[in-house]
Chain A
Amino acid sequence: MLRTVKLTKTFNQMTAVAEASFAVEKGELICLLGPSGCGKSTLLRMIAGLTPSDAGSIEIDGQDVTERQANKRPTAMVFQSHALWNHMSVAQNVSFGLRVQGLARDVIAAKVTEALRLVGLDGFEKRRPTELSGGQAQRVALARCLVVEPKVLLMDEPFSALDAHLRANLREELKALQRRLGLTTVFVTHDQEEAMELADRIVVMNAGRIEQIGQPADLYLEPQTLTVARFIGQMNEATVPVVRGQANWLGQRVAVGAADGAVTLLCRPEDLRRDPAGIAGRVARVIDLGPVLRVTVATEEGATLTWLCARADAPVVGAPLALVATRLLAYQNGVRVAVPVLTKPQLESVMP
């Protein structure tokens, strides 16, 4: 449905987006995820035609739209600031795109009513945008896009200005609506939780480049670059030397499929488990996250580990504790290298 090929944009000799290529299937929701300034919004704006690209191409539904102006593209965009027109009523805002298309008045009225019903705002037709809450305004912005039936719906951090509870509700509603209507959607966010919850696939970007494209679980479990590993979820990280395929992680020898040099070893907090034979330390802090506890452990080696543990396993601050890693990820020069899956016997076998 949507395909970008080597899309590139440079601002004042600074590369904002470098050769970004990805494809979105019909009815799929893709999240462009990355830290601020990584080029995700620029990429979205290039797809919308609001920012001209320097190189590369954009194809929508088999047609090259790279040279088309924004008003000639079959896309519609929801902005972070909702960008409603305060001098128009809700109905006038929503009907704007249809009026541009020159549809008959009764057709417009019916479509506006339907769009507002879809976003749960029936009866709000005569309200002014200034009379709406942040969430309602963003729903109107969504209805304004839905009503023109775009081939690709573009959303630029639409919920980032809303409070956490409302954001979670709107995410659920959007996902349900997107599934029901089969909307092909590109959603920009810097919030990994939002991306994991919404996306069928995630495009992780950093410094203008696409780092990895994959399903949320793939990105979480198998991050292919160090940047993705660090950006998605929490990690315990240590950069250590590797000699003849052996590295030392907090006193434990680990076999790594990497050339001699430095290797970065990462372990997710939930991939640690209590084991008397493991890394010894003391509980420095316990934070109650509700369903689980986040425990900070100061190891005897002077390192700090974060461990997510079940409530039943809750340790006491100051108590001695030993942990083993059940899974490690290894990266050399930012690229993933093989590390065997660690099991308890394996761990014990590599203990000094």
Chain B
Amino acid sequence: MVDDLTAPVGSRGRGQMMGQGFAGLALVAAPLVLLIVLVLFPTVSMVANTFHVTGEGGRAFSLAKFAAFFADDYSVENLRYTLVWTVISCGTALSISLGLALYLRFSEGRIATMIHALSLFPLFVPAIVISYAMVRFLGPNGLFQLLLEKVGFTGYTTPYLTPVGPYIAFVWESLPLPVLVLSAGLAQVSDHAIEAARDLGAGPVRIFSQILLPQLKRSLLIGFALIFLGVVGSFTVPYLLGPPAPEMMGVYMQRTLGNMRPEEAQVQAVILMAVAAIVGGFYIATMLRNQRSR
């Protein structure tokens, strides 16, 4: 056994090593084939299709489909609406997650455990359930309105079918992952590092801004990317809770496809994919930097 462990690599059987290599390849082959056939090929083909037009002279490279998208005010408004509310949702969810993660980092006991469990709860609730729960709670004649009326407040305007409706659902739905990422980031900051700052005269605000926040930069970036990617392409929540117009890109795409305009839907998808790719690339780069710095 010891000989096996201490033997130089070259002394191991070449056939054995090749066997291991083949077994490894066999293990990744199935998911790799699925990825190529079901994801990469349709995606590449769709992207290629959006950059071509078929005319009398045959198929030719063209940006005409994208020009048409950006020339259409309603499409641009939908894209703008999607980006603005995604960023607002990200900012809110990230701020709340940071608050929760900070509380959990510095608190112990039953209440902290309960809050931790509650913050992760949305992870296990499907978007459609969240949406209907929102309708029942915040919608017209919902529980919230009834409660307000009980205490004498009658001027309630429901956020249902306004941009605020999906926004509330997005924030609630997006909390668990950034809470987990930020908690992990905060766990990396030792108690002594915080105490050393306190000991040198720093108050809570300075400790947060100069000790904790800079060390959480990567966790915040990862948290932002996770929320952004989840919200920007969402369909169920904005479809059930959002206004009829403007529409989130996911809803817009589905409607365009339903109207038998698949080429336009493809352009919308590629534009949304480009936006997601920027944030996704950013996420991957941050993860790689994290791994390299370890």
Contacts and interface: CB of A to CB of B under 8 A. Distances in A.
Contacts of A79: 192, 195-196
Interface string A69-98: 111100111011101111110000000110
Nearest to A81: B192
Given A81-B192, A85-B197, A96-B197, 20 more contacts: A49-B199, A70-B195, A70-B198, A70-B199, A71-B198, A71-B200, A72-B201, A77-B196, A79-B195, A80-B192, A81-B190, A84-B193, A85-B196, A85-B211, A86-B215, A96-B200, A96-B202, A144-B196, A145-B200, A148-B200
B193 A48 contact: no
Interface string B198-213: 1111110010001100
Give the 6 A-B residue pairs with the shortest CB-CB distance, closest first.
A97-B200, A83-B192, A83-B196, A100-B201, A87-B214, A79-B192
6 contacts: A70-B198, A71-B201, A77-B199, A79-B192, A96-B200, A100-B201
A50 interface: yes
Interface residues of A, number: 27
Given A81-B190, A81-B192, A87 B199 contact: no
B175 to A, nearest CB: 26
Nearest to B189: A85
Judged by DSSP, the binding face of B is helix
B202 A100 contact: yes
Contacts of B211: 85
A141 B195 CA distance: 13
A87 B200 contact: no
Nearest to B195: A50
A80 to B, nearest CB: 8
A101 B195 contact: no
A97 B197 CA distance: 8
Contacts of A88: 214
Give the residue among B192, B197, B199 with the most A Cβ atoms within 10 A. Answer: B199
In this complex, which of A49, A71, A97, A100 has the most chain B Cβ atoms within 10 angstroms of its Cβ? A71
A84 B211 CA distance: 10
A148 B201 contact: yes
A70 B198 CA distance: 6
Nearest to B200: A97
Interface residues of B, number: 17
A163 to B, nearest CB: 21
Nearest to B199: A77
Contacts of A144: 196, 200
Contacts of A85: 193, 196-197, 211, 215
Contacts of A148: 200-201
Contacts of B196: 77, 79, 83-85, 141, 144
B217 to A, nearest CB: 8
Interface string A134-170: 0000000100110010000000000000000000000
A86 B189 CA distance: 10
A97 B201 CA distance: 6
Nearest to A101: B201
B199 to A, nearest CB: 5
A246 to B, nearest CB: 55
B203 A71 contact: yes
Contacts of B202: 71, 96, 100
A81 B189 CA distance: 12
B120 to A, nearest CB: 28
B185 to A, nearest CB: 12
Contacts of A71: 198-203
Interface in B161-213: 190, 192-193, 195-203, 206, 210-211
B195 A83 contact: yes
B206 A100 contact: yes
B215 A87 contact: yes
A291 to B, nearest CB: 38
B200 A50 contact: no
B32 to A, nearest CB: 37
B143 to A, nearest CB: 43
B200 A100 contact: yes
Contacts of B198: 50, 69-71
Interface in B188-246: 190, 192-193, 195-203, 206, 210-211, 214-215
Contacts of A100: 200-202, 206
B130 to A, nearest CB: 37
**Most A C-beta atoms less than 10 A away, residue of B196, B202, B211, B215:** B196
Contacts of A50: 195, 198-199
A282 B145 CA distance: 95
A160 to B, nearest CB: 14
B212 to A, nearest CB: 10
A101 to B, nearest CB: 7
Contacts of B210: 96
Contact of A48 (B199, B203, B214): B199
B245 to A, nearest CB: 46
Contacts of B195: 50, 70, 77, 79, 83
Interface string B239-260: 0000000000000000000000
